[in-house]
A and B are shown apart, each in its own frame.
Chain A
């Protein structure tokens, strides 16, 4: 029962019979009114208002008085009735519930209005700037930060899915000693005692292991630790790493530098086994820039870059290549040398390196035109050509690729192409050497305490190190991680690690932008961040991660203000020195302002001016090439390649349902990885699709389910890392095949392997798309740049809209907003970030492997992938061209689904949207049958509670916290589909209305559009002639998917244009 004071009356109540002073007069007839005014003028202040009683004379209007209650018959009966009623009510008592109104609201939080916070999240070698949407303090959706140069407002599928990781109900919730729950206090006491014992020998027996870091504060804490324990060593290890790239730049330029490529300015890009659009460092940035170099407005001024890809397994990058050569990963090296030799032959001054590449060039099995024509193309575009190598290629190849790009001219009229920036951690060693050193030390008993911050080395360390066995020899192991994983279960102490969205931190992007990672929610479980742990170990003066990060930020702020070293802050002022050594005061207010703006913008320091381009050291490159072994792969063996999984990365996302169910962009397999074989290899091995195969390398072997993918290099088996986890959680355990047992220190990227058929039953795979061919249907339109220029409307030629009139009377679409969308297939890379963004935004349920196999996946947006074998374009059944086409509801103006619904559950909105009323849907599924696009999804079961999360008695509460409160969670038995993110449309319209203005173009961005790293999706008002959507909808190569059926789709596509080299034909 709330005990709130009643709302105060505006004036004292008037006496009986009088109306409120100043109240209007009520009258029933003109006569009465005349009488009224007469009376009021005659006797001012007398009875006014309603003069005559409402009821005729004789009618009792006064309630019975107390006296009449006692004596009158009516009153007695009334009292009795009331008594009886109250007798029954005696036992009732309203529950006492304290209503806590949101009166003391946090600043800027309005219930129902989401707020956005800028933060940053470390991703391999780059830090992605993010904006996170929060509903009442609950982060629900991740977007890229448009002002941050590593994301430009976009995010890839893995980043989109980290929000689910935050809420994973199986995250570690308490410190554990030997597996049993313990307290942080106990841990702190034990660790402090242990560390105190190391003080004597300066920490010789103390080791740390952590992934390479981008955080300046972590580096500072590490330095502080080194001060306390000068002889302790911090090792770094990450299964998916950029050590070879770093080493390559060291060889080529004498110092490790981050090298960025300005893909948007390049005309020719040669990728040597680099999946820079999906799995390499800075993939979002690269995709953004790459697609900017392919954006076509019209046929008249059409210009685009050309991408050559040499790779063993079909990747997102390979699928987008204008020319793709499938070559085993171990042969990419000799291809690089052969290409360099050819370039040298054609006049590129290779100087010292000419002889060594000539010597090592081996063009066996490489088509001649792949050397001559590519070399000619590169040389013809001097100053606008980029050669890049994949992270699994050896350092020498990276050095050579950097050298080739450099020699082809890095600056030209269009600007710099190869940009050098300082690395985040100058002391980082080659991770393989580093973990090897640690393993050796562990093996010889020189390590007494090992603190592992993040990572999961027991699962992902190179197999030949025997890390697991050696870990047993370390008496005191601490492992801090999000999950109780393979490593945690062997550690003395497991510590729950705070998620990036729960803790303060900072990170430095490749381009040296420094951003603050600000927590969006208090730690859900008792997690602590690495900074706090390192600070504790180093006895750092900062007591919290916040203080530590702020202290680091202070240094950056001072640096921005032209100062170098600052003393501690005293009385709101710090003494600093400027470049000339003069003492300058730094005021706390200034610091506060810059810190605050850094937090709200999402970065403290913008990308810094690139370093001066270092001199190329061709002699060192030559020496490095000479040192490479000649025969990487013994003849007669096959090759197994390891690549970062686009979804699991190195295995860290194994327990993430969204990523498990996001189809692989090439195979469209979900909930598994597979050993990818080419059709010819499979035939030679006698292996059919889904058969189990044994892959043996370095004396170890694994069995994995085979999947035949055209476009895979012959003689090469591709495996992605991060699968086959044993202690990932209920979602991730036992999914897919673990490739780590084959991965050794000398073969992190690929290894020679023996492959044979394993026999036994075929593996059970589930795919979201089972048919690979477009069956020559006019559903995806492709042209070369030359064809596009000669036939700008090539897409509409094949599938013109019908001339027949629609069946039903036409709507008037000329008024108000008319929403529409256009998807540019030329820039779409098929990376599937949109798919995960859609899941996150629209509470799309996860259905599990079995139900996907049945065909019941619920994704509102799917990315179709077709293989095309066109001999004219040099594509064959074994080596096809790949196209991607995102398909979601196209919001037909003549929607087949609307006519057939018996209960009007799907109808056409006034703004051209095909709308779904879930409440009205009875689930006849007729609409989905009649949808030619098959974009409608049916809740066959209660997906949220009844399938994947059945054993937990429904979707766990933490996962419910992720759900978007503006989108209905659908119950079983109803149909659902893409709504063009109608909740975003509505909130933008409400906002515009409150501000008395029109909705701006670009103000409404659908979830898929917002996250698209390639900016391939545009949404807007088609009635606004100036909107981008209208402009895109009028581009010459647009087409409506299946428009020939007369559906008049609102979503249109722009045909795919590729830019093949005529010489390669």
Chain B
């Protein structure tokens, strides 16, 4: 059986609309950056750039006056800032998960969406990394977090989870960026080759690193890609596990929970897929990518959402159970009283409804394949996951051990400005990416098409299965022979 072929027994369908040629794929994707941007792009871009501008203004004001322009208070020393950080990091998960883990597991359906997802990872992690930088009281010395040699021999505190966090997210960002760029090289070369304008030729040519598509190039490329995928895979799991340790290593009820690392990873994948889906649905509509991004992709993503939703729901339930089972009165007061009935009960209701109830619709195929439904659901899940982080951070802090120190939290307009601003920054980057870079991995998509098969046209030779499979699986090995 050829690897590109759908497995009929599993009720699979082709990954590219039948009848699509290799040229169609190249053309559909490349033309986006070669033709003037459609009106929809401009509208989206101006909107996003406006919010990015708001972001710059709000952060300037924040730097000028201090963190007090946000609503953070005592005891809620972290609020929207870290909520947004964790939310963005979580969103940044799906990209590498789709690229690396699915790549290693040979999930060929990932090819339609992996470039998107990876770009999203990069931009989401950029948005995430903004927050640790700007949320500190004295941002001009934030570099003290790094282990920089200095004459006083003063090092950061390696016991601090914030430091682990910095390393984890930093590594993740670096590796994700490399991974993304490596994957882009053949496609950049395609764009270069199609360019008629000298500047496009030069810029794409520069970034294409002299790619000529030779056998040797492909061999190195495939190997590098595989290595990077292997490096990325543990990072997908580690980054959010480490982020969760910001909370899990503390003593605060609601934070001090051993379930956090897997729970955070599941939540991150959940929110990441939701965000990929949101963005993908917009791009698919605006740039008419129906031939490459099939309903099948979307349906698979929805299945993933359902699975991770159940994982997250399980974690929610387990937190409640352990709080009750531990008999610890502070834990019980937090999980059984403060979360559902405290002053922020509404945040908890948002979290549970969006994250646990909404995805239940995906038990039904009709819902899984309904684009308006999945668009709304993906946004609701994003909201729900934002509230999950809000619940974990703000609801744990606002009522901890000593009732005398309890307090309410109220965000300010600057909080809203900064958060919506990062969404603007994210989409600004994303829209620029869609406009100027191949937003679908052309080379990889082509690899899944029938035309890419050396035995193209020969259907189902049971006796040749083994042989063909080996060939098809390892084009790199083939080239090395």
Contacts and interface: CB of A to CB of B under 8 A. Distances in A.
Contact of B329 (A777, A887, A929, A938): A777
B242 to A, nearest CB: 13
A425 interface: no
B401 A941 contact: no
B33 interface: no
A775 B336 CA distance: 14
Given A855-B408, A921-B138, A922-B141, A973 B67 contact: yes
Contact of B67 (A885, A923, A1045): A923
B137 A904 contact: no
A925 B78 contact: yes
A856 B74 contact: yes
A565 interface: no
Contact of A775 (B68, B72, B333): B333
Given A779-B401, A934-B400, A934-B401, 19 more contacts: A777-B329, A808-B159, A851-B68, A856-B73, A856-B74, A866-B403, A885-B404, A887-B404, A899-B159, A899-B249, A900-B249, A902-B166, A920-B154, A929-B250, A932-B402, A933-B405, A934-B75, A974-B137, A1045-B251
- Lowest 8 CB-CB distances: which A-B pairs, in order? A923-B137, A973-B137, A940-B68, A934-B405, A941-B68, A864-B404, A855-B73, A925-B77
Interface string B388-414: 000000000101111111111010000
A928 interface: yes
A896 interface: yes
Contacts of B71: 854
A899 B405 CA distance: 22
B160 A901 contact: yes
B157 A769 contact: no
| Best-surrounded residue of A857, A940, A972 (most CB of chain B within 10 A) | A940
Contacts of A896: 250-251
A924 B407 contact: no
Nearest to B141: A922
A922 B66 CA distance: 12
9 contacts: A771-B399, A776-B329, A887-B404, A899-B249, A920-B144, A926-B160, A940-B137, A973-B137, A1045-B401
B135 interface: yes
A900 B72 contact: no
B252 interface: yes
Nearest to A971: B138
Contact of B252 (A775, A851, A855, A930): A930
A862 B404 contact: yes
Interface of B: 65-69, 71-78, 132, 135-138, 141-142, 144-145, 154-157, 159-163, 166, 246, 249-252, 329-330, 333, 397, 399-408, 410
Contact of B397 (A772, A929, A973, A1041): A929
Nearest to B69: A941
Contacts of B161: 900
B404 A929 contact: no
Contacts of A946: 65-66
Nearest to A946: B65
A78 B249 CA distance: 67
Contacts of A930: 250-252
A376 interface: no
A855 B68 contact: no
A1063 B401 CA distance: 36
Given A900-B249, A934-B400, A973 B136 contact: yes
A1042 interface: yes
B79 to A, nearest CB: 10
A922 B137 contact: yes
A941 B73 contact: no
Contact of A770 (B76, B77, B157, B406): B406
Contacts of B141: 922
A902 B160 contact: yes
Contact of A929 (B67, B77, B156, B402): B77
A951 to B, nearest CB: 16
A942 to B, nearest CB: 6
Given A928-B74, A930-B252, A942-B66, A902 B162 contact: yes
Given A856-B68, A929-B250, A939-B66, A934 B159 contact: no
B158 to A, nearest CB: 9
Size bracket of the A interface: 35 or more
A868 B21 CA distance: 78
| Best-surrounded residue of A771, A854, A938, A972 (most CB of chain B within 10 A) | A854
Contact of A928 (B77, B144, B251): B77
Given A770-B407, A777-B329, A865-B404, A904 B68 contact: no
B404 A771 contact: yes
B145 A922 contact: yes
B144 A903 contact: yes
Contact of B401 (A776, A925, A938, A1042): A1042
Given A774-B403, A920-B144, A932-B251, A974 B138 contact: yes
Contact of A903 (B77, B145, B403, B405): B145
Interface string A460-475: 0000000000000000
Given A899-B160, A922-B136, A940 B154 contact: no
Nearest to A927: B77
Contacts of A857: 74
B405 A900 contact: no
Contact of B157 (A779, A904, A938): A904
A941 B66 contact: yes
B67 A854 contact: no
A929 B407 contact: no
Contacts of B249: 899-900
A898 to B, nearest CB: 8
Contacts of B159: 808, 899-900
B67 A940 contact: yes
A775 B253 CA distance: 15
B157 A901 contact: yes
A773 interface: yes
Interface in A899-927: 899-904, 920-926
Nearest to B155: A904
Contacts of A924: 132, 135-137, 162
A779 B403 CA distance: 9
Given A775-B403, A900-B250, A901-B157, A925 B329 contact: no
Contacts of B75: 855, 928-929, 934
Contacts of B156: 902-904
A937 interface: yes
Contact of A887 (B72, B246, B333, B402): B402
Contacts of A926: 77-78, 160, 162, 246
Contacts of B330: 777
A765 B75 CA distance: 19
Contacts of A922: 136-138, 141-142, 144-145
A50 B114 CA distance: 80
Contacts of B408: 770, 855
| Best-surrounded residue of A776, A928, A934, A946 (most CB of chain B within 10 A) | A934
Nearest to B145: A902
Interface in A255-307: none
Contacts of B74: 855-857, 928, 934, 936-938
Interface in A848-905: 851, 854-857, 862, 864-866, 885, 887, 896, 899-904
A932 B404 contact: no
Interface string A932-957: 11101111111000100000000000
A799 to B, nearest CB: 11
Contacts of B163: 902
A940 B66 contact: yes
Contacts of A973: 66-67, 136-138
A329 to B, nearest CB: 29
Given A854-B410, A929-B250, A973-B66, A902 B401 contact: no
B165 to A, nearest CB: 8
| Best-surrounded residue of B69, B132, B160, B251 (most CB of chain A within 10 A) | B251
